[in-house]
Structure 1
Amino acid sequence: MTAIPRPSLARREHTHTAAASHSGHPISVRFATSSEIDRWDELIVRSPDEGTVYRGRANIDSMVLQGATPVYLIVDGHAVTAFEVAVPLAGALWVLFGPPVLDVHELIRSAQAVAQFAAHHGRVSAVRVRTQLKANPDDADMLRAHGLVRVPTWLDDSTVIVDLSGTQQDVLSRFKKRARKSIRRAEREGVIVDRVAATDDNCRVLYEMLDATSGGRFKIPTLASTTAVFQRHEATGHGQLFLARHHGEVVVGAFVAILGTTALYLGAGSIRKHPGDPTLCGLGESRAAYALQWDIMSWAREQGCIRYDLDGTPSTATIGDAEHPRHGVGQFKTAFSDEITDYLGAHQIAVHTRRAWLIRHLEICAQRIDSSPTLNRLRRRPIRPNPDHVWLHRTRR
């Protein structure tokens, strides 16, 4: 199910040169060639920040299945994965997973260069950049001073990354005590973790747990899309579906994908304590989720990974907030590593000023409605405001 990029967004040879980079040379922006697209993963892994699964071809194909349009860019010589998103009455967005810059100065110049390039290609109203730069208040202020405003994106802005280097005992010793005890408890409880093929039936089992875990609290793709995503990653040889059983019943599962030396916790779900109530996990005292993670890490190490990205947690500032809608998730994931990685987040630079402003403010209004405690009580949706969604309060630009 390899996606065929739209020629107008992926194959033209036009090159645009913009402002000088931080190192002094001009930043060039162009569409990738066909041969570059054919070896996209290789180019992504060679990026200064080593890339992520989200920037790889398997994930691009998966996004296409969900209706996204890929844009393959070469920015300052580096492969940059982007998607074009149409916005009714307001043009389109280019959403970049990158560029792979090393500091905020380079990010500003790269964003400006891409925005200038986009102005000549279609009805693009704004460009959004989401790099792997770590959060820094001074950098955030600098971005705002140069016209880049904070916006949401499809990626979490905080995560836990587990160090898989060293021996198996080295990895285990870096866990918190509760994680080590829980892994041993799961073994005594007879929890069994299976690495299974991403068949339609196995994908359905995981999807039903994911759907129950979601319960309307967060959006998930359809069963068909989810199955296609898992099977596409598996077909590359760098994806694995895991199902954990307790007393013969599947109680928790996950799918993990790899790009380079980093494994990503791509999707997961578990049984619920009460049918229809997504807020209470049904794993009880089995500690099956800990056994699942330990087997995932063992598999990732077998594949040559030195990092495991648990993909999403409350930020460093809110990890102790018991009212945070993802508090339980954060407590679970930080059992494997104390360090939370907070990213600088996504920022938007205008291509067409008025249309860019309209897109951002329509989005803010929609998200405020979606996270309103009062409206969610009326709709009987168990959703609480997320204090990490700081873009909801940045309305000055």
Structure 2
Amino acid sequence: MPASRTRAAHVRFATADEIARWDELLLQSPDEGNVYRCTANIDGMAMQGGTPVHLMVGGHAVTAFRVDVPLAGPLWVLFGPPVDDVRELVRSARAIAAFAENYGIVAVRFRTQLKASADHERLLQRHGLVRVPTWLDDSTVVVDLKGSEQDVLSRFKKRARKSIRRATREGVTVDRVPATEENCRILYEMLDATSGGRFKIPTLAISTAVFQRYEASGQGQLFLARHDGEVVVGAFVATFGTTALYLGAGSVRQRPGDPSLCGLGGSRAAYALQWHIMRWAREQGCERYDLDGTPSSATIGDFSHPRHGVGQFKTAFSEEITDYLGAYQIAVNPRRAWLIRQLEIRAQRADESPLLNRLRGRQVRPNPDYVWLRR
């Protein structure tokens, strides 16, 4: 039996020395970790109320957070564990749940880098793991940055290459700017307008602190794109190892208060921004660029999907969609874990209620990728 599988049952808290070397340990994981597990993101989550928990599972560093759920109790939410297959995930989940029971934890949630599979989903369910809302997108587009710039461009769809050239003709400029209070405010206001209440974002103060923390670590860069002298779209990108992540972005809207209509017009500024980001990421030694969130491969063609436009934009840079297995929960205290699940189901139904959303002034459509949550 491989050594990684025999170690999977051993769980402990990381030592002070291991925590000091956390990013180094993460990069030694079988899946090389990701931005969401790194020290800079741990600090950012702590700013938003998460309590970091550093675990060693089967000899690998696993980033987790303790989240207190009113009426139910505390959860551990894990970015990982970095397992090679779904059966190893089951073994690790059971071991972590047994360990967590000693600390009054109600349930443990996992989000690995394993790819989606109907067979794997059924296996997890047979072993008592329940699918739960993910705190990361279940599907994404990852752009291959290897080779020359021409190699990268040649892998884009034709419309992306044409849009990048058009943006140049339109006079669009993209700048790498420091994460000052003012620049962070500019990006935040566009992100807030883009959100329009359709998804949650941290406050301006927290967003600024997170961006500045990444910048200070040398793992982040803020970008602003201008057209006719006005900032029209911006983004913050973080790196970890050889991967860059599209961490947060926003653009101007056609009409104030209407998040559904982008105001970029025909400038193609968003395409120019992405190409500039990719060139920067290559300079940082990155081999891939995670565009962080798209409809799944099963729903990418669904025009009713609330993120249809996002998916069409991102797949212009790479047609391949990566679908992850998603987040799963293993109960430590079955009754309280069941209560958390029921609270989430009801909250999700409220979020998609046509009547409630009319009263809130929100334009929210059901996400067909989350149909499992309504079962």
Return the TM-score normalized by structure 2: 0.98
**Alpha-carbon distance change, 35 to 24 in structure 1, aligned in 2, over 3 angstroms:** closer
**Alpha-carbon distance change, 196 to 111 in structure 1, aligned in 2, over 3 angstroms:** same
**Aligned equivalents of 1:41, 1:24: Cα separation in 2:** 24
Please name the residue that 1:194 is paired with: 175
Does the CA contact (< 8 Å) of 1:194 and 1:242 recur in 2?
yes
Instruction: State how 1:13-32 maps to structure 2 within 5 Å.
Output: 23-25=5-7, 27-32=9-14
Q: How many residues align?
A: 374
What's the secondary structure of 1:228's corresponding residue?
Answer: helix
Aligned-pair CA distance for 1:374 = 3.0
> In the alignment, which of 99, 106, 126 is matched to residue 117 of structure 1?
99
In the TM superposition, structure 1's runs of 4+ consecutive aligned residues that sit over 2 Å from their partners are 20-26
Please name the residue that 1:223 is paired with: 204
> In the alignment, which of 188, 194, 197 is matched to residue 213 of structure 1?
194
Does the CA contact (< 8 Å) of 2:193 and 2:259 recur in 1?
yes
Aligned-pair CA distance for 1:391 = 3.7
> In the alignment, which of 201, 222, 228 is matched to residue 247 of structure 1?
228
Please name the residue that 2:324 is paired with: 343
Does the CA contact (< 8 Å) of 1:313 and 1:333 recur in 2?
yes
Q: 2:352 is matched by which residue type in structure 1? A: S
**Aligned equivalents of 1:110, 1:372: Cα separation in 2:** 37
> In the alignment, which of 269, 276, 290 is matched to residue 257 of structure 2?
276
Task: Please list the CA deviations of residues 172-227 of structure 1 after superposition, one character each: whole Å capped at 9, or x if unmatched.
Answer: 00000000000000000010000000000000000000000001111100000000
Identity %: 75
Aligned-pair CA distance for 1:238 = 1.2
Task: Please list the CA deviations of residues 59-110 of structure 1 after superposition, one character each: whole Å capped at 9, or x if unmatched.
Answer: 0000000111010000000000000000122111100000000100000000
* Higher helix proportion (structure 1 or 2): 2
1:37 aligns with 2:14: no
Q: 1:100 is matched by which residue type in structure 2? A: P
> In the alignment, which of 273, 277, 282 is matched to residue 292 of structure 1?
273
Instruction: State how 1:1-397 maps to structure 2 within 5 Å.
Output: 23-25=5-7, 27-121=9-103, 123-394=104-375
**Aligned equivalents of 1:390, 1:78: Cα separation in 2:** 33
Task: Please list the CA deviations of residues 302-322 of structure 1 after superposition, one character each: whole Å capped at 9, or x if unmatched.
Answer: 000000000000001110011
How much is the aligned-residue C-alpha RMSD, in angstroms?
1.2
Does the CA contact (< 8 Å) of 1:135 and 1:342 recur in 2?
yes
Does the CA contact (< 8 Å) of 2:8 and 2:88 recur in 1?
no
**Aligned equivalents of 2:169, 2:188: Cα separation in 1:** 28
Please name the residue that 1:17 is paired with: none
Q: 1:60 is matched by which residue type in structure 2? A: I
Return the TM-score normalized by structure 1: 0.93
Does the CA contact (< 8 Å) of 2:185 and 2:204 recur in 1?
yes
**Aligned equivalents of 1:80, 1:26: Cα separation in 2:** 12
Q: 2:155 is matched by which residue type in structure 1? A: R
Aligned-pair CA distance for 1:393 = 2.6
Task: Please list the CA deviations of residues 225-264 of structure 1 after superposition, one character each: whole Å capped at 9, or x if unmatched.
Answer: 0000100000001100000000110000000000000000
Q: Specify every segment of 5 or more residues in structure 1 that has no aligned partner in the other structure, as ranges.
A: 1-19
Q: Specify every segment of 5 or more residues in structure 2 that has no aligned partner in the other structure, as ranges.
A: none
**Aligned equivalents of 2:117, 2:371: Cα separation in 1:** 14
